[in-house]
Amino acid sequence: MTRLFLLLLCLLAALPQQASARLTSQPDNWPQETGDSRDLADIRNSGVLRVLVNQSRNSSGEIKGQSIGIEYNRLRAFEQYLNDTAPGRRPLTLKIVPKAKDQLLTALQRGEGDLIAPGEVLGARDGQNVSASLPWREDVPLVLVSRQGSRRYAHLEQLAGKHIALPAGSAAGDAVRQVNERLAQRHLPALSIDWVDPSLAVEDVLEMVQAGIYPFTVVEQPIAERWAKVFRGIRVDRHLVLDNRQSMTWYVRRDAPMLHASVDRFLKDYHAPADQDGTFQRLYRNAYQVRNPLEKGDRKKLEAVRPTLQRYAEQYRLDWLALAAMAFKESNLNADARGSSGATGLMQVTPAAARSVGVGSIQGKEGNVQAASKYMAMLRRDYFNSPRMDDRERLAFILAAYNVGAERVQSLRAEARRRGLDPNRWFFQVERVAADQLGMGVVNYVSSINKYYLAYQRERDGLESSQKVARK
């Protein structure tokens, strides 16, 4: 009887159980749900290789038809390689899909692309359904970047307690945490990571370090040295290496072995052109000119116009610091400034724009700020009032329309939609179309004001403190 009972127990244990009984919760490293698999044969049949790229301008982009970005030449060479190795078949073309760096791996797993070409160090986590290619650059140093003329440090320990500005997805995040473990062992204060606004990529952070808005950042050395040819005011501290154990690679899904094999064969023999940064330097050399709006003299000028900016910002439901950032870009906070096409004053508003919102005189500070604020409110109401836009993107579109006209910005959004980009995001999406069709003018305009706005926001309490004291 006992043997029969034990045999019955064994048989019951062997029966399949319900899924809820087998797995009550999903482990942290459980593979994420993925989209349909596409290996090389499927890609060839479709005629399109979808490449997920880091949306950073460092990685890819076009300015008036001239392609730039660290990955551009390599990707075009890979496209040619795939077509050369399959003569007589339907030619493959690349479809570039820009994503924020910290979204690339997830997008690949969801089937939104076939290949990731990040242009930076990108580390995958255990359990992700992705596979790294052969590295095209090994043992990449992550180095400190600071401003020319700032204090030099001989050892990382001397940075204890300092703030490091990093863009989202930066590989330096883990490296800083490892440095902090060593600092803790020596009872020294940790480095603080300031994760910057998602509207900023690595090149934006480098520009803000050059301006003195951020004191330090940590960047892959080849990227820092590339941008140092544009940002002559940054200093690459090559001796201050936080990590040098990671490589620059591409990524494919694990269930695309034929594509992976083709990528590896290509990267093994590929050599970048010696002059590949020539166009990059020529097109960007004069595009980045942000300076620190919080210098002592500029603070005094801002304080002088603050009451006017605040009055009309409140009246038209704007942030006065956004108006301040715009005024700093437009006129360097000079109410007597004169520009082209009749633009005048603190906000460089034109008579036609003022008339369109019923403001007659723009010569005085009051009328000038009122006209600009009312015009911006009109742009928001008539063109950029979609609930699909967040406030930061909405402001970016308003600024772009202020610079080149609302109808032109709407046409850029329509073209972005046609290209598969997000028409409700200016940064890294519609701005790609703007750079391609119009050049860097409007892109730089919006980008500069955004950086001044972020700089002011970091100091909001201090900039508004005198007002609070006056009200007591």
- Distances in whole angstroms, Cα of residue 235 to Cα of each of 120, 206, 220, 221, 301: 19, 10, 13, 11, 30
The sign of the dihedral angle between the CA atoms of 119, 125, 126, 127 is negative
Over residues 369-384, the mean pLDDT reads 97
**pLDDT tens, 206-249?**
999 999 999 999 999 999 999 999 999 999 999 999 999 999 99
Residue pointed to by tokens 């096409």:
341
Q: What's the chain's average pLDDT?
A: 89
- Is the confidence at residue 311, as pLDDT, over 60? yes
- Is the confidence at residue 303, as pLDDT, over 60? yes
Quote the CA–CA distance of 440 and 274 in Å, as a whole number: 25
Over residues 25-41, the mean pLDDT reads 55
- Is the confidence at residue 5, as pLDDT, over 60? no
Q: Are 233 and 147 in contact (CB under 8 A)?
A: yes
Beta strands in 255-304, from DSSP E residues, in sequence order: none
State how beta strands 192-195 and 163-166 pair. parallel
Name the pLDDT band for 126 (thresholds 50, 70, 90): confident
Name the pLDDT band for 2 (thresholds 50, 70, 90): very low
Bigger pLDDT: 470 or 68? 68
* Stated pTM of the model: 0.89
User: So what's the pLDDT on residue 274?
Assistant: 78
State how beta strands 48-54 and 192-195 pair. unpaired
Q: In percent, how much of the chain has pLDDT > 90?
A: 79
Helices then strands (H, E): number in the chain? 19, 12
- Between 49-63, 151-165, 253-267, 445-459, the lowest mean confidence (pLDDT) is in 49-63
Phi, psi of 171 (to 5 degrees): -70, -15
- Is the confidence at residue 125, as pLDDT, over 80? yes
- Is the confidence at residue 31, as pLDDT, over 90? no
Domains of the chain: 40-135+249-281 (3.40.190.10), 138-246 (3.40.190.10), 296-471 (1.10.530.10)
Quote the CA–CA distance of 76 and 93 in Å, as a whole number: 9
- Between 15-19, 222-226, 314-318, 465-469, the lowest mean confidence (pLDDT) is in 15-19
Q: In percent, how much of the chain has pLDDT > 70?
A: 91
- Is the confidence at residue 454, as pLDDT, over 60? yes
Name the pLDDT band for 290 (thresholds 50, 70, 90): very high
Over residues 305-330, the mean pLDDT reads 97
Residue 368 neighbours by CB under 8 Å, 6+ apart: 335, 344, 345, 346, 347, 349, 362
Quote the CA–CA distance of 196 and 211 in Å, as a whole number: 15
- Between 10-24, 30-44, 386-400, 439-453, the lowest mean confidence (pLDDT) is in 10-24
Over residues 111-128, the mean pLDDT reads 92
Q: Are 84 and 91 in contact (CB under 8 A)?
A: no
Longest dimension (CA), the chain: 105
